[in-house]
């Protein structure tokens, strides 16, 4: 791999994260070193070289903390320890050291909206009386109705069902997610202090930042008013669904995106400033629209990045993509922040599967054997096209493990193995997110496709993963893996993430057509979402294409980078 200027230490003007490509590792599913069927930290450490070769700048690790795993680790029982299924704190140190040697930064997941019900604080709250300081760290309330037998308000859980559960003495506690994920009370100074300390704990160990879980949910409106609007998160709402404008009848959601959250992040930013030599980051997982609201998380004294979920949610239609890119860049430039592009993660159907359906209607929350199946070839073709478009966009980008192999979701997984709390809370009516969390295939002919030394995998791998395994694609011209490597190399050489975007005229609306120029060069990007071939400009030099060009024309569902 060639070294390029962007690989050198960032200068003050260009902090590393502004154009970083960050690869999300879902630790349970990346590499299993001990054959128990669950990925672990030593497994990650052993395979970090693969990411160096891929050409990413950093990794983000989904939670590895001590947890009863009611929500795959997003239910944290101890923020300062590693769950035994993943390893030990020493394993975490070894991972950080190896990443540092390789020049890869490491971002960890922080889950501040809720703890596990098995966290020492929640256990203390249960043991203490109503009104006690222990209960005040969480959202305990008396019930309503005769003998307080009804919940304090009508809030629902994002994972469906009631947002409140009752404890033996009659009080109720709020959980916007699973019963086993009680919400913290962020009005309590002790909670704020504790999280400053947790930030310092991991910064002192050497991490380069935090992806902040449910960053828009921490502060709830005083009085906890009833709310009848949608609880959507995780990109499952449909484009045709009309979310009412806030009014007296339909107030804004009292649990999402309250102004008070910003104070919390200002406090965190000041903690991070004490580690300025490393320039650690905060990245918001905030399902907030429109882009102007999301941009508020990116004001100069708050977070550095916020996932652009509006982009992820946009269907494969040229005009819609052009609009979401335009709006995102405009909103974020007001606060001086770069956009943070993303197409897949552990909460949504992978884009190679999502894009294998017609570009209309509601996005599914999980796909099962009884559902219409995606067109896998079309999905992969469009996924490659979407990725090539994304990797040219100015700003940062996140990749989700396995997308560089073109992995689809497991869309015929037996229901009996599903683990997502959504599946269980809806008695199977909503399948949930297991399909995108299946263990990685590293080698076609090895047990568990090389995920670990045994046949065991915590979720079954679909047969199709064999041909997509790393060893089937490594060094194979035209493979999705080599395609990602080329795109990342060019992006780095041309410093596209630090470039400036302008739109190209003269193309039909189905074609997303823009140019990105940086001090190191530039590209013209044409992404054809329409049915008809599009001619390339006279004399164009093709740098990279997501699929074969036909007689110098750009076919349907293909993206090309031309030298600018
Ligand atoms: C975020 C995580 C998701 C988790 C939820 C509750 O949305 O990405 O996986 O279930 O928060 O912590």
SS3 sequence of 228-283? CCCCCCCCCCCCCCCCCCCCCCCCCCCCCCCCCHHHHHHHHHHHHHCCCCCCCEEE
Atom of ligand 1 nearest to the CA of 433: 9
Report whether pLDDT(236) > 80.
no
List the residue whose alpha carbon is closest to atom 2 of ligand 1: 213
**Helix 189-205 vs helix 89-102: angle between axes, to the nearest 10 degrees?**
60
Q: What is the reported pLDDT for 238?
A: 55
DSSP characters over 323-389: HHHHHHHHHHHHTT---EEES--TTS--HHHHTTS-S-SPPPS---TTSPPP-HHHHHHHHHHHHHH
List the residue whose alpha carbon is closest to atom 6 of ligand 1: 74
Whether the bond between 290 and the residue before it is cis, its omega within 30 degrees of 0, is: yes
Give the pLDDT mean for 260-271: 98
Atom of ligand 1 nearest to the CA of 113: 12
Report whether pLDDT(9) > 50.
no
Q: Is the C-alpha dihedral spanning 537, 541, 546, 549 positive or negative? A: positive
Q: What is the reported pLDDT for 229?
A: 80
Q: Which of 109, 176, 214 to mutate to test the pocket of ligand 1 (most atoms within 8 A of CB)?
A: 214
Report whether pLDDT(2) > 60.
no
Q: Which of 79, 184, 347, 398 to mutate to test the pocket of ligand 1 (most atoms within 8 A of CB)?
A: 347
Residue 66 Cα, ligand 1 centroid: separation in angstroms?
16
Residue 175 Cα, ligand 1 centroid: separation in angstroms?
13
pLDDT tens digits, 491-528: 999 999 999 999 999 999 999 999 999 999 999 999 99
**Helix 480-493 vs helix 376-392: angle between axes, to the nearest 10 degrees?**
10
Burial degree of 470 (CB within 10 A; 0-12, 13-18, 19+): buried
Residues with CB under 6 A from ligand 1: 71, 74, 111, 177, 213-214, 233, 285, 346-347
Q: What is the reported pLDDT for 6?
A: 39
List the residue whose alpha carbon is closest to atom 4 of ligand 1: 74
Q: Residue 133 CB: number of other CB atoms within 10 A?
A: 11
Out of 40-44, 247-251, 271-275, least confident range:
247-251
Q: Which of 24, 64, 74, 423 to mutate to test the pocket of ligand 1 (most atoms within 8 A of CB)?
A: 74
Atom of ligand 1 nearest to the CA of 71: 10
Quote the Cα angle for 273-14-213, to 5°: 50
Residue 212 Cα, ligand 1 centroid: separation in angstroms?
10
Question: What top-level class would CATH report for the domain 16-116+189-484?
Answer: alpha beta
Specify the fold of 120-174.
Oligo-1,6-glucosidase; domain 2 (3.90.400)
pTM comes to 0.96
**Domains of the chain, residue spans:** 16-116+189-484, 120-174
Report whether pLDDT(234) > 60.
no
List the residue whose alpha carbon is closest to atom 7 of ligand 1: 214
Residue 348 Cα, ligand 1 centroid: separation in angstroms?
11
Atom of ligand 1 nearest to the CA of 177: 6
pLDDT tens digits, 64-81: 999 999 999 999 999 999
Residue 550 Cα, ligand 1 centroid: separation in angstroms?
43
Instruction: Establish whether domains 16-116+189-484 and 120-174 are of one fold.
Output: no
Residue 534's pLDDT band (cuts 50, 70, 90):
very high
User: What tokens does 127 get?
Assistant: 């043991």
* Ramachandran angles phi, psi of 332, nearest 5°: -80, -25
Q: What is the reported pLDDT for 235?
A: 52
Residue 285 Cα, ligand 1 centroid: separation in angstroms?
9
Out of 6-15, 149-158, 357-366, least confident range:
6-15
Q: Give the active site residues.
A: 213, 285
Give the pLDDT mean for 351-366: 90
Give the pLDDT mean for 454-475: 98
Q: What is the reported pLDDT for 237?
A: 54
> Contact at 8 Å (CB) between 527 and 385?
yes
Out of 112-121, 135-144, 234-243, 296-305, least confident range:
234-243
Give the pLDDT mean for 476-505: 98
Residue 548, CA atoms < 13 Å, CB-side half-sphere: 3
Q: What is the reported pLDDT for 3?
A: 37
């Amino acid at each position: 791999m060639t070294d390029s200027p962007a690989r050198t230490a960032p200068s003050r003007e260009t902090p590393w994260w502004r154009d970083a490509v960050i690869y999300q590792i879902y630790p349970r599913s990346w590499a299993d070193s001990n054959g128990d069927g669950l990925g672990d930290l030593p497994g990650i450490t052993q395979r970090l070289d693969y990411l160096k070769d891929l050409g990413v700048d950093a990794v983000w690790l989904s939670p590895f903390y001590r947890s009863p795993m009611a929500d795959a680790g997003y239910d944290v029982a101890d923020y300062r320890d590693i769950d035994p299924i993943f390893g030990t704190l020493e394993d975490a140190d070894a991972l950080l050291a190896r990443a540092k040697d390789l020049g890869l930064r490491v971002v960890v997941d922080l889950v501040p909206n809720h703890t596990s019900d098995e966290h020492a604080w929640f256990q203390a709250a249960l043991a203490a009386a109503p009104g006690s300081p222990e209960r005040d760290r969480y959202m305990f309330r008396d019930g309503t109705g005769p003998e307080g037998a009804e919940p304090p308000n009508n809030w629902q859980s994002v994972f469906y069902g009631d947002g409140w559960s009752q404890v033996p003495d009659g009080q109720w506690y709020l959980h916007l997610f699973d019963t086993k994920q009680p919400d913290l009370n962020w009005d309590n100074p002790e909670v704020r202090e504790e999280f400053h300390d947790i930030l310092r704990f991991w910064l002192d160990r050497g991490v380069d930042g935090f992806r902040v879980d449910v960053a828009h949910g921490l502060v709830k409106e005083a009085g906890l008013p009833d709310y009848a609007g949608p609880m959507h998160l995780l990109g499952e709402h449909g484009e045709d669904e009309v979310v009412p404008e806030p009014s007296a009848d339909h107030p804004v959601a009292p649990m999402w995106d309250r102004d008070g959250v910003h104070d919390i992040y200002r406090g965190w930013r000041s903690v991070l400033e004490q580690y300025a030599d490393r320039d650690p980051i905060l990245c918001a997982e905030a399902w907030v629209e429109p882009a102007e609201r999301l941009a508020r998380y990116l004001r100069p004294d708050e977070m550095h990045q916020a996932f652009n979920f509006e982009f992820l949610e946009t269907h494969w239609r040229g005009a819609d993509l052009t609009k979401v890119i335009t709006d995102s860049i405009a909103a974020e430039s007001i606060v001086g922040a770069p956009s943070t592009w993303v197409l897949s993660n552990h909460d949504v159907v992978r884009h190679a599967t999502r894009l294998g359906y017609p570009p209309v209607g509601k996005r599914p929350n999980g796909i099962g054997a009884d559902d219409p199946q995606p067109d896998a070839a079309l999905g992969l073709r469009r996924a490659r096209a979407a990725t090539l478009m994304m990797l040219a966009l100015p700003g940062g980008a996140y990749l989700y493990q396995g997308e560089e192999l073109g992995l689809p979701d497991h869309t015929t997984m037996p229901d009996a193995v599903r683990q997502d709390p959504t599946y269980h809370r809806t008695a199977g009516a909503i399948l949930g997110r297991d399909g995108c969390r299946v263990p990685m295939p590293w080698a076609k002919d090895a047990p568990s496709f090389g995920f670990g030394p045994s046949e065991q995998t915590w979720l079954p791998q679909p047969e199709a993963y064999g041909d997509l395994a790393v060893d089937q694609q490594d060094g194979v011209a035209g493979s999705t893996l080599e395609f990602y490597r080329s795109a990342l190399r060019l992006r780095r050489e041309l410093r596209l993430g630090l470039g400036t975007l302008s739109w190209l005229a003269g193309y039909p609306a189905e074609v997303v057509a823009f140019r990105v120029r940086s001090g190191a060069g530039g590209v013209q990007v044409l992404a054809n979402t329409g049915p008809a071939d599009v001619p390339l400009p006279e004399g164009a030099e093709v740098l990279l294409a997501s699929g074969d060009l036909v007689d110098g024309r750009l076919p349907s569902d293909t993206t090309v980078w031309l030298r600018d």
